[in-house]
A and B are shown apart, each in its own frame.
Chain A
Amino acid sequence: MTEKKIIKTTCKSCHGGCGVLVEVTDGVITHIEGNPDSTTNGTMCAKGLSSIQHIDNPYRITHPYKRAGEKGEGKWKQISWEEALDTIAAKIKEASEKYGPWTVATSQGTGRGYNRYTHRFSRSMGSANVISPGYICHSPRIGLYGLITGYGRLYCDYHGWGGVFPKTQISWAKQLEISSADSEMCYWYMKSLDYCKNLIVIDPRATAYTSRATLWLQPRPGTDAALALGMINTIIQEGLWDKEFVENWTYGFEELKKRAEEYPVEKVEEITWVPKEKIIQAARLFAVDTPGCIQIGSSLERQANCGQTLRAIIDLMGICGNIERPGSMVSWVLPETGLIEDVFNEIPLTDEMRSHIYGGDKFKMGAARTCNPDTIIREFNKGEIPIRVWISVGGQQIVHMASTKQVVEGLKKVDFMVQVDQFWGPMAEISDIVLPAAHWLEMDDIYDMHPRFMIEAHNKCVDPPGEAQSDAWIFNEIGRRVSPKYWFKDVETLLDYELRKAPVSWKQFSEKIISGCFGPDQVYYKYKTDYWRKGGGFPTPTGKMELYSTVLENLGYDPLPFFEEPGESPYSTPELAKEYPLVLTTGFRSPFYFLAQYRNIPWLRSFMEYPTMQINPETAKKLGIEDGDFVWIESPRGKIIQKARLFPGIDPRVVAATANWFYPEAPAQGFRGVFISNPNVLTDNNHQDPMYGSPDLTCLLCKVYKCQPEELKDPQYADIFTKEHGGRPWAW
């Protein structure tokens, strides 16, 4: 007798959010497909579908381990959960008493639901040193929307709930069509394009949707602020701004106008390499064909001019009145559950916690919540020990942070490190204790989307492998041992607590799956109501949208946006450019991987076996490089190997390297091949954004040359490049 059931759940293979139906036959998952009764209408991508290969994947971490050799030696001894948790709690207490709670850091991968646990956990211990990739992804835009409009979460209105879709869309350094990094917005974005008059893609290289676009602007990486200011200037000079909105609802237009005058299109063309006609055309389309929205990509947040770049773009939205009108940038009304992240907001940061935020004195915007990870690495390399205990969940700081070699050297000096993960990777190999984490098919949890207009349930479909546990369980268990007053008797109680504002328990919600605020429940033009401010207005000090930021002024930053050259560029470092003549951007993403994940999922690895770099055929010809050759990409910091793809859609002066690459199949020694192909081996952590501390990850200089066949036989990586299928223990 076969027992077959369909479980409704929610995917979290990227930021997640797509509704999923999982067919479980006699305890085995036999089918996965999209749930038609969800916001994503039953669609799913390759990453989510391939989740099936997480189940029974022999490379999963199944038990807690403690290190039995040197860091990176790959020698481990299996231990019990009891021993692991007690050891971790004892180490935290010891460091906290001896050196202060701020020497205990909690780190995470990209914000995917466990944010609220890492922050609650860290705050409950008395530390604000959460090490998160937020400063190079998403946090700056949230913070700056917050400064300028007073409310920190503006998202593109792809839904048509206000009666119209955006008429003009700008996709700026973003491939929402494949990355879905603002949750399940990918589906909505593509749907909204059916109603879009102008799609403007701004990207240094051709992407899937540049062919669909009305207009494609191809800027030099790192010059986006100049482009945005040039567009602002054009709009103001031609009198195309939204007079009603600017007059009544913004502050500092005259000052912005004056600043923008410093960016005439001729100058902007010189800086950005974008022909001035295209800049003017883009500006006109965005200003005239309203409503419009701008989808910001995180590559803009991986530049040392990140803060002012985003300021300029947000001001561009503002002068066109593209705030809170249907089809523009909207902050959504929350579902009845309120802000799920209040589960950590309810523990406020104390002055003591704040005063020990690393980098807090310098990067004042980033320090509103978290420390600056690069500052910590620099401290270590100066011989200080800023962090004694490091609890890491999911993320691969070694892979995504600038200057991989420095990060590894720094992390080796942490007294005690814990990695919570599904698979062995560089962060696990450098840790002292490794804890097995459950996959989303194996856990009960609450999914909280970035735009925050709904929450969904992750429902457990099958048991995790071995002794693996969900992130919620792991944090709750460590929390119970360290700061019991803030933690719960079990995960169900914790989930009930997260839903406390709504009249539902976790059990009820898990059946309901989604709670959101859709269609006529959403409200536009909130600044004209009492929602933010009694009598209307924006919740800023001036009550208006601050094109000129009074808060930044008080913090000692320039209140108006400006452009600054990247730390390395043909113009800022012309001498260096003689030896390293090509501009390198490291923001190249593919639809099969999410950040550092999935190189060990056979179905997904089959789509892109080796990290690929794009180079213009003209440049390649000069360098003697042919399509499919392995090449060296070298910067003053080091060199990496990637496979060359001759690609006419990139400027001959620019090359793009695939981001976030390590080789899960490589041995533990060498930290799973993290130095072989990861572009952050090439990046520098010294040139940082003054507000957020974001380093120049996506705009630097490099040289490229062919990798000789005998070089690939170096024993360090010979297996990867010379054996069939890289000698990988999985196949396709």
Chain B
Amino acid sequence: MRWGMVINLVKCTRCHACVAACRIEHFLPLGMNWPRLIAWETDVPGQELTTVPVRCNQCKEAPCVEVCPAEATKKREDGIVYVDNDICVGCRYCVVVCPYQNRTFFSRDKDPGYFPGYQRTRFEKAGRKLFPHVAGTTEKCDFCMERIDAGMAKGLVPGKDREATPACVNTCQARALTFGDLDDPESEISVLIKEKNGFQLHPEYGTEPSVYYIDGKIGNAPSNIAPREAQTAAHMQHLSTMEERARQIFGKK
């Protein structure tokens, strides 16, 4: 099992909801961004400059794991690379070695709070208890591993069940993010990567990222027939009511 993510660059609207969801999920201090959108130059006419959503690639051959002298950056069996902030000594070798620059050093003196000169908000204060960030250590995206672990313990499936799926994937209105198991050739993301020629950012770095991107025009659907669950609005039916006049005329319900 190796968790991975597919980002559909055509569906993505660059709305930054993934960034905001992560900030809430992990009570991120200011200046700390796990997922980001960065400028990207392409050869596509009219789109020479675009942005691309990035986050830790959870590389299979992660240089950050290799380089960590304290063995604080670890790779789990499911492929997630994470930092044990209790062990991290803050040497920042990993920040330097990550070819994707997806790691941030958290320094308390750079955390003035949301509103410098004012009391920290109650949300900020609560975050210090619920998701403490250790000053002087390095942080990065860990695919919401707490959610995955807690969800799987309940028998839920990451990528399918919301409670076991990363927060950014859940919040994406464009449904541009897909999460799942790269080792399972039948999984949704494996199929997407295969069918839509998924690619990794800078594969030449040789780190084998677990985050893939898909592109290419869509919106050329073979059919506009609505699937049954869309037609019946099954999940909304318990909330459905009809005005009296329409009920009299159409005789429904």
User: A: which residues have CB within 8 A of B?
Assistant: 25, 28-34, 36-37, 39-40, 42-46, 49-50, 52-53, 55-59, 159-167, 177-178, 186-187, 190-191, 193-199, 206, 208-214, 291, 327, 333-338, 454, 501-502, 512-521, 523, 529-531, 591-592, 602-603, 607, 646-649, 729-732
- Contacting pair B243 A336 (CB below 8 A): yes
> Interface majority SS on A: helix, strand, loop or mixed?
loop
Q: For chain B residues 1-21, which have a beta carbon within 8 Å of chain A?
A: 10-17, 19-21
Query: Cβ of A520: which chain B residues have Cβ within 8 Å of it?
Result: 231-233, 252
Query: Cβ of B249: which chain A residues have Cβ within 8 Å of it?
Result: 529-531
Question: Which of the residues B113, B119, B171, B252 comes within 8 Å of A49, measured between beta carbons?
Answer: B171
Question: Which of the residues A159, A199, A730 comes within 8 Å of B114, measured between beta carbons?
Answer: A730
- Contacting pair A160 B236 (CB below 8 A): no
A327 to B47 CA separation, bound complex (whole angstroms): 31
Query: Cβ of A729: which chain B residues have Cβ within 8 Å of it?
Result: 115-118
Q: For chain B residues 179-231, which have a beta carbon within 8 Å of chain A?
A: 217-221, 223-227, 230-231
Question: Which of the residues A36, A167, A514 comes within 8 Å of B224, measured between beta carbons?
Answer: A167
Across the two chains, which residue of chain B brings its CB closest to A602?
Answer: B114
Question: Which of the residues A30, A39, A160, A649 comes within 8 Å of B46, measured between beta carbons?
Answer: A649
Question: Which of the residues A198, A209, A501 comes within 8 Å of B13, measured between beta carbons?
Answer: A209
- Of the A-B pairs whose beta carbons lie under 8 Å apart in the complex, a sample of 24, sorted by A's number, is A33-B171, A34-B171, A42-B170, A43-B173, A44-B173, A46-B17, A46-B20, A49-B23, A52-B24, A160-B226, A160-B227, A163-B226, A166-B224, A177-B15, A190-B11, A208-B14, A213-B219, A336-B243, A502-B241, A516-B240, A517-B243, A519-B237, A523-B250, A730-B115
- Contacting pair B14 A46 (CB below 8 A): no
Query: Cβ of A191: which chain B residues have Cβ within 8 Å of it?
Result: 175
A24 to B217 CA separation, bound complex (whole angstroms): 42
Q: Check if B130 is an interface residue, CB within 8 A of chain A.
A: yes
A165 to B17 CA separation, bound complex (whole angstroms): 26
Question: Which of the residues B24, B219, B231 comes within 8 Å of A197, measured between beta carbons?
Answer: B219
Across the two chains, which residue of chain B brings its CB closest to A732?
Answer: B30
Query: Cβ of A178: which chain B residues have Cβ within 8 Å of it?
Result: 13-15
A182 to chain B, nearest CB (A): 14
Q: Check if B122 is an interface residue, CB within 8 A of chain A.
A: yes
Return the 5 tightest CB-CB contacts between A and B, nearest first: A160-B226, A519-B233, A56-B121, A160-B230, A518-B233
Query: Cβ of A648: which chain B residues have Cβ within 8 Å of it?
Result: 45-49
Indicate the member of A50, A512, A647 with the most B CB atoms within 10 Å. A50
Given contacts A49-B24, A520-B252, 9 further A-B contacts (CB under 8 A): A28-B125, A44-B173, A50-B20, A56-B119, A57-B114, A159-B230, A212-B10, A521-B241, A607-B16
Across the two chains, which residue of chain A brings its CB closest to B218?
Answer: A212
- Contacting pair B116 A731 (CB below 8 A): yes
B47 to chain A, nearest CB (A): 6
- Contacting pair A206 B46 (CB below 8 A): yes
Given known pairs A56-B123, A529-B250, A732-B30, the reply for A34 and B174 (CB within 8 Å) is: no
Indicate the member of B112, B119, B236 with the most A CB atoms within 10 Å. B236
Given known pairs A334-B246, A602-B114, the reply for A591 and B13 (CB within 8 Å) is: yes
A587 to B230 CA separation, bound complex (whole angstroms): 34
Q: Check if B91 is an interface residue, CB within 8 A of chain A.
A: no
Across the two chains, which residue of chain B brings its CB closest to A617?
Answer: B48
Across the two chains, which residue of chain A brings its CB closest to B30?
Answer: A732
- Contacting pair B174 A177 (CB below 8 A): yes
Q: Check if B99 is an interface residue, CB within 8 A of chain A.
A: no
Given known pairs A45-B17, A518-B233, A591-B16, the reply for A197 and B220 (CB within 8 Å) is: yes
Q: Check if B239 is an interface residue, CB within 8 A of chain A.
A: yes
Query: Cβ of A40: which chain B residues have Cβ within 8 Å of it?
Result: 173
Question: Which of the residues A57, A160, A649 comes within 8 Å of B115, measured between beta carbons?
Answer: A57
A46 to B23 CA separation, bound complex (whole angstroms): 10
Q: For chain B residues 145-182, which have a beta carbon within 8 Å of chain A?
A: 162, 167, 170-175
